[in-house]
Chains A and B, each alone.
Chain A
Amino acid sequence: MADIKDIIGKVCPDAVYEENERPLAVVPDAKWHDVAVALKNASYDWLIALVGEDFGDALGCMYYLKSTADHSIISVKVVTTDRENPMIHSVSDIWKVAINEEREVYDFFGIKFINHPDMRRLFLRNDWVGYPLRKDYDMNPDLNPVRLYHEEPDDASVSYQEGADGKITAVPVKVFGDNEFVVNIGPQHPATHGVLRFRTSLDGEEIKKIDLVCGYIHRGIEKLCENLGYPQTIHFYDRMDYFSALPNEHCVCSCIEKALGVEAPRRAQVVRVICDELSRIASHLLFFGTFCMDLGATTALFYGLRERETILNILEETCGARMSFNYYTIGGLRADIHETFIPKVKELLAIMPKALKEYHQLVTGNVIFQNRLKHVGILSREDAISYGIGGPSGRASGWANDVRKTNPYAVYGELDFEQVVMDGCDSFDRYLVRMKEIEQSMKIIEQLIDNIPEGEFCAKVPKIIKLPVGHWYQEVEACRGAFGVYIDSRGEKTPYRMKVNGTCLRLASIVDLITRGSKIADLITIGGSLDYIVPDIDR
């Protein structure tokens, strides 16, 4: 706490500090940009979450920053009381990840960011009325009916620039120039892995710029959560990033448990870790299959899905569903593991090394495959940090960021496994990191499967769950990178604000950066190697 006071105090003496779960500083907007620079220089260079919130009396943002040196997390709050024309200084020049996340905040709360290069809506149609996550949003369906006509292509954007005298002027910005050749890819395209749209400006076959258009599967989960009790919100976490359903549930459950002061029994924690790793293997197998299919190796899909079905069988017997498990609950697990769970997992561990060898023989060594991946889509370590790309994609750029190692949760701290880090920075290494992570996940499961302790599988929790007043942020390592949940509670049965912070929006944001100058065919390779899941981008 003293540390953050030192750093911020030098730049902004009138900051207010609050004791919460983590050090929190409330910084006035005028000084926020300077404070952000100071924090970044003090090694808080990973913006892990940018949460917009309607605090009732004010609109504002919570910024969660993580140090890449010692992995400590601090938070900063910036508010504005103006509801008519709210404005906050942008930090998108310091952390590039803020470019799209600030657009998201603008979309949901109408907060305009000063000096942001491109202030457009991100998820909603450009003719949408109102800002849906504000508490006074009018839900009347007549204002926003299902419109069956196409929205106008929106090349005109605006940037609010602050002059030297502090006066703010709206400067019109064009997304694409008049003479640019723009090709539309998506939202219905088999290689975008869902309904994502890229407006791609081309020079011959070379990509000049990509404008990311998302929101084609924006389901408004964060707003829905505000009207549901805490246990009722968990099932949504299966349906965002449906491949890492269990790690996502793990995140929200441990966030609520932390706020409630409950600890899951050891049996539940061990089973959670095993199931998390099982779904990580299943997710990476599907990545292997679909990625190879995008590159034209259709057979690989069938190999990958063959082993994935074995895992789904195991999870189905225990959780009762193939995909939307809803297995973890606040305080532990919804049910004990099935009697066949342990022998079947052991069977899986026996077949996986053989299967992996088969994959490598089938695909990895192939010259065509390697030529299409090596030195394609270079993402440097600095860019990975600036854009907040955690997970396997960031680790392929030589950045050790595995939350399981840096901020261990559940029983990960006691386990012996390696964090796979490679420094090729290209698509081939992003592929290899995932294949190697399968081996590490197997190593974790091997250590735990014979040592599941006896005892309760769920702690005693009150029937009606009310969290105390406060706010919490919890991170886990999901299959695609750090996955965070932010809960703001006002002491009610329902969350006042629940923010879901996945990695996929960040993964999609860097497509523009790392495809520039590549051929258009490489867009498919690069998109596949990043492995984003569209419902997790849009939520």
Chain B
Amino acid sequence: MKWEDFNENEYIESLVEELKSSGQNVVVGKLDQLINWGRSNSLWPLTFATSCCGIEFISLGAARYDMARFGFEVARSSPRQADFMMVAGTIVHRMAPVFRRLYEQLAEPKYVIAVGGCAISGGPFRNSYHVVKGIDEIVPVDVFIPGCPPRPEAMFYGLMQLQRKVKVERFFGGVNRKRTREDFFRENPEIAEREHAQE
């Protein structure tokens, strides 16, 4: 892949545009840069894998691909210690509430990467009676990595796009917000309605 292609990402460009247009304090801006440099180079994934893509994620951690080179090596088993989750594999109906709870347990700022066809759209199992047709129906997704399963190189590309996204974010007064359960329900009234009806 060429370097120019790597940098070609309309989404991040629009994010930068938006930040530039609203202006930023110099001191805070510099602090932001410093913190984001640190954050983007020590993103800790949650050990979360449901099927085939998870095995490629293990390969990513092993010696040949070695994600420690980019600071992803500290895979955490508890969502409370992780920065992002790689959703590697199919999410089915029975798993959906568990998956949602894991997402809600991640500490802010949190990110989600949808790895593979199943997580993106249901993939080869889209027509099944028991498969969620894309995890973006349940949680917001930052990066999509297509493939079935994606090669480890593709996963790296996706992970590095996430690093770029983290680098251009505004940490102070931006992503480092404290978001409560009530806030979440206010933003997603239809989920709140369903949830309250059940509880």
Contact = CB atoms under 8 A, between A and B. Distances in A.
Interface of A: 123-125, 132, 137, 139, 144, 146-151, 187-190, 194-195, 215-221, 223-224, 227, 235-236, 238-239, 242-243, 286, 290, 301-302, 305-306, 309, 322-324, 534-535
A448 to B, nearest CB: 27
Contact of B56 (A150, A215, A323, A534): A323
Contact of A224 (B55, B100, B127): B127
B147 to A, nearest CB: 10
8 contacts: A146-B137, A151-B94, A217-B90, A219-B131, A301-B58, A309-B64, A323-B52, A535-B52
B64 A219 contact: no
B98 A187 contact: yes
B189 to A, nearest CB: 14
B64 A148 contact: no
B124 A239 contact: yes
Interface centre among B77, B94, B131, B199 (most CB of A within 10 A): B94
B19 interface: no
Given A219-B131, A306-B62, A306-B64, 14 more contacts: A123-B94, A125-B93, A125-B94, A147-B194, A148-B191, A148-B194, A217-B50, A217-B51, A220-B129, A221-B125, A290-B58, A309-B64, A322-B56, A322-B151
Interface in B46-104: 47-52, 54-56, 58-59, 62-64, 77, 89-90, 92-98, 100-102
B130 A132 contact: yes
A328 B132 CA distance: 29
Given A221-B125, A306-B63, A216 B137 contact: no
A146 B102 contact: no
Contacts, number: 132
A148 B100 contact: yes
Category for how many chain B residues contact A: 35 or more
B97 A148 contact: yes
B59 A305 contact: yes
A242 B50 CA distance: 12
B95 A217 contact: yes
A149 B104 CA distance: 13
Contacts of B198: 149
Contact of A220 (B47, B100, B131): B131
Contacts of B132: 146
Contacts of B47: 190
Nearest to B127: A224
B124 A235 contact: yes
Nearest to B53: A323
B175 interface: no
A162 B40 CA distance: 65
B49 A148 contact: no
A218 B89 CA distance: 12
Contact of A146 (B93, B101, B195): B93
Nearest to A536: B51
A197 B102 CA distance: 15
Contacts of B64: 305-306, 309
B97 A324 contact: no
Contacts of B128: 219-221, 223-224
Contact of B52 (A195, A239, A286): A239
A194 B58 contact: no
B97 A194 contact: no
Contacts of A220: 125, 128-131
Interface centre among A137, A148, A215, A324 (most CB of B within 10 A): A148
A194 B54 CA distance: 9
Contacts of B50: 194-195, 216-217, 534-535
A336 B125 CA distance: 29
A220 B48 CA distance: 21
Nearest to A309: B64
Contacts of A216: 50, 92, 94-95, 98
Contacts of A235: 124
Contact of A150 (B89, B97, B130): B97
Given A194-B50, A195-B95, A220-B125, A148 B138 contact: yes
Interface string B161-199: 000000000000000000000000000000100110011
Nearest first, the 3 A-B pairs at minimum CB distance are A220-B128, A305-B62, A149-B198
B146 interface: no
B95 A190 contact: no
Nearest to B151: A322
